[in-house]
Chain A
């Protein structure tokens, strides 16, 4: 019984697809050349990287030379924001972002403000959506860069970033628009065709059953960017460092599988998430759903009244059920989630918020296990509250 594994923390990381892991192992073992070397062994690696880039470019409907491989979502976000900000260093224009961004964006913007950039962090409303009027009002002719997440990592809120970008560009056409699409890439159709108003997009491998340590930054042709990592001039000098051949191939493979099954996955996820909500409704007293109505079915943020999420998490973990409190990156910190705080979640709920995040293989049995254990422990946790 205790040997089961019910993994519901897929917004933190996912279980790799076995074929992806096998292919990566094969590449790591046999195709170990440096993709910059001109001999056969190097060319072998070079081709793998090139083909992977083609696959990902096709998914994004962009040109291969607009795709840069990075070490993951955090690096992609840093590369986009710092790269763009430093390219416009002489003017140090305004940088706009929102209160519900991932810390890789929020903290980068905060550190840029120390370099003298004017920054604006757009508040979010109670439903967890951006206060669009505030956002548009903040755009002025000095605005250099805006960064808004596509799918929020804590609540699953979906933002029509293309629409936002388009409206912001109507006010100031020279704005560079970046989106952190780490929780959206592979799951949603993100079309970077010419008519798109998005200039940069971050994605990561391990959120879609691919490998950790690899991600990408899409950079629209013509966007001015200073490289974050300089060196041997790899990837057109935009991101030096020997390419992670196996990681890149694994990432492309996982993305391709997600992309091909997008609709099927979405249907299954909606069904599973609805089932989860239904079971919560029927079984559990005293909870609220923090995810907005229109949100990604891959993520559900739920808060239970009068408990500490950490305690529930520990209990579930002991039963082989894995969820997270807030977002996994910040769940070891004691303070409540900055996103939920911004959403004004009531006090008796905010410390009991957990994030349940699903993947295409999550089934009703997993949901049942989670509901069963949670329903059983909640009364006890409410009775013995930790101070």
Chain B
């Protein structure tokens, strides 16, 4: 009998011929979160990944916590693997039941699945057998097949796996199996949430941040690096492109009507992000915009911003209220980084009354005062890349 973590994945199972591709990606992503922190072995068997860790209970807890952040996984269970000897499986069931009893639980049931039909008992038979032996050996427990406080799961495969306690993981699709995107990270609450949501749908992400030295502090940049680092727990390694944006901002400020500042600035940002995306083979941009949240996110503004690029722009927060985004930000632990009080580049030069219903023709007219594409190219030449 040995301990291990039993990982179940959901949506990947539905994929037809591509399934091995998704499974391999998932295994790579699991390895990545364990690499460096644990000594482990990993194996796969139809719909399951098994991970044994060299370490005690607390090491298992830590590993399970990390693994549960890998997209594509539905649950992580703390399991025992035994030989095909039914006695050994029963022993594992008893051990788990007495652990659960110690943790204060009183009612249980046993549920057996038997993909391997060579096992001598049928599923129901084995559940009854194991349940009986648990009742004989662990005092203070009773069976409740409808609403048990814990369920002993027995899976009979090439080996037998027994587990009760499971933690829920994020679901979704393994990062990297839906292509690549570039997220515009501002340092606020929304953009990391947007990144998280798209990573959940399998998008591998690189990030771009617009830094306005000396108007924004090094601490603001540090904040975005910390956000990217936090996201990398979910998204895998992130390359953060830090664009020196000051000169572009000043030019826009000088040459364009002030009520259009934000919108033109955002169009330049989108174009720069799109060029970065093209250069790394990414096929989409990701932003944290939410309809009507601020002046630059009205329907008209989104249209004008969007028109600067031809690549698809994913805005997973578009239909969310602020508090919904905050809930997710708290769940993924980016919230308290996002609310650090440093200014981002969008808040430096703002008009008192920014336009809320910009018209594309008028914006294009204003942009004639600046060398829009030249500005983009210049910014692309002044980028610092940090890998987190």
Question: CB within 8 Å of B: which residues of A?
Answer: 310-318, 332, 334, 377, 380-381, 384, 386-387
Contact = CB atoms under 8 A, between A and B. Distances in A.
Contact of A310 (B217, B253, B349, B350): B217
Nearest to B350: A387
B213 A315 contact: yes
Interface stretch (B34-42, B193-201, B340-348): B340-348
Given A334-B341, A384-B250, A386-B343, A314 B349 contact: no
Contact of A384 (B213, B215, B341, B343): B215
Given A334-B341, A384-B250, A314 B347 contact: no
B213 A318 contact: yes
B35 to A, nearest CB: 34
Nearest to B246: A384
A387 B216 CA distance: 12
Summarize B's interface: helix, strand, loop or mixed: loop
Given A332-B219, A334-B341, A387 B348 contact: yes
A263 to B, nearest CB: 39
Contacts of A312: 214
Contact of B218 (A317, A377, A381, A386): A317
Contact of B349 (A313, A316, A317, A384): A384
Contacts of A377: 214
Interface in B228-263: 250, 253
Nearest to B253: A384
Contact of B214 (A311, A332, A334, A387): A311
Interface in B313-343: 341, 343
Given A311-B214, A314-B214, A381-B214, 16 more contacts: A311-B215, A312-B214, A314-B215, A314-B216, A315-B214, A317-B218, A318-B213, A334-B341, A377-B214, A384-B250, A384-B253, A386-B215, A386-B343, A386-B348, A387-B347, A387-B350
Contacts of B253: 384
Interface of B: 213-219, 250, 253, 341, 343, 347-350
A95 B61 CA distance: 53
A311 B341 CA distance: 15
B296 to A, nearest CB: 16
Contacts of B214: 311-318, 377, 381
Contacts of B349: 384, 386-387
Contacts of A387: 347-350
A310 B343 CA distance: 11
Contacts of B250: 380, 384
Nearest to A333: B341
Nearest to B348: A386
A265 B247 CA distance: 43
Nearest to B342: A332
B383 to A, nearest CB: 16
A120 to B, nearest CB: 33
B348 A314 contact: no
Contacts of B347: 387
Contacts of A386: 215, 343, 348-349
- A311, A315, A377, A380 — most chain B CB neighbours (10 Å): A311
- A313, A314, A317, A377 — most chain B CB neighbours (10 Å): A314
A315 B343 CA distance: 15
A318 to B, nearest CB: 6
Contacts of B350: 387
A318 B253 CA distance: 22
9 contacts: A310-B217, A312-B214, A313-B214, A314-B214, A318-B214, A377-B214, A386-B343, A387-B348, A387-B350
A317 B221 CA distance: 14
Contacts of A317: 214, 218
B121 to A, nearest CB: 65
A310 B219 CA distance: 11
B345 to A, nearest CB: 10
Contacts of A318: 213-214
Contacts of B348: 386-387
Nearest to A313: B214
Contacts of B343: 386
A40 B349 CA distance: 66
Contacts of B216: 314
Which 3 pairs show the lowest CB-CB distances between chains A and B?
A: A315-B214, A314-B214, A386-B348
A314 B341 contact: no
Nearest to B250: A384
A264 B214 CA distance: 37
Contacts of B219: 332
A380 to B, nearest CB: 8
Contacts of B218: 314, 317
B58 to A, nearest CB: 31
Contacts of A380: 250
A321 to B, nearest CB: 12
A307 to B, nearest CB: 10
A347 to B, nearest CB: 20
Contact of B213 (A314, A332, A334, A381): A314
Contacts of A311: 214-215
Contacts of A384: 215, 250, 253, 349
A373 to B, nearest CB: 11
B210 to A, nearest CB: 15
B240 to A, nearest CB: 19
A234 to B, nearest CB: 36
A312 B350 CA distance: 20
A31 B191 CA distance: 53
Nearest to A311: B214
Contacts of B341: 334
A35 B250 CA distance: 61
A61 to B, nearest CB: 44
Contacts of A315: 213-214
Nearest to A312: B214
Contacts of B215: 311, 314, 384, 386
B216 to A, nearest CB: 7
Nearest to A315: B214
Contacts of A381: 214
Nearest to A314: B214
